[in-house]
Amino acid sequence: MALDRANLLALMNQTAKADPASPVAYSFGGKNLSYEDLNDTVRNEFKELVGTPQLYRENKNEFFSLIEQSITEVLPKKVVE
């Protein structure tokens, strides 16, 4: 993975909280990125983590742990809204 676990989780949370319809730039790692850039980066990181059957077998617990942590932080706020 190009990003370490903490940075990937931060990127996932930033992407989940971002509004895809908004034309603003989001800041991550000192760079201004569009929503599409954030989303593409998360997808590419996932491909590196679980992009093949072998990688999936090796990293599936890490993959689902990241998703669970991101959902735990973002979902309650979205449900309240």
Domains contained in the chain, number: 1
Query: What residue numbers bound the domain in which 45 lies?
Result: 5-80
Q: Give the pLDDT confidence of 9-53 residue by residue, as tens digits.
A: 999 998 988 888 887 778 777 788 888 988 999 999 999 999 999
Q: Which of 57, 31, 21 is nearest to 11 (CA)?
A: 31
CA angle 68, 56, 59 (to 5 degrees): 55
Would the pTM count as exceeding 0.85? Answer: no
Average pLDDT over residues 54-67: 97
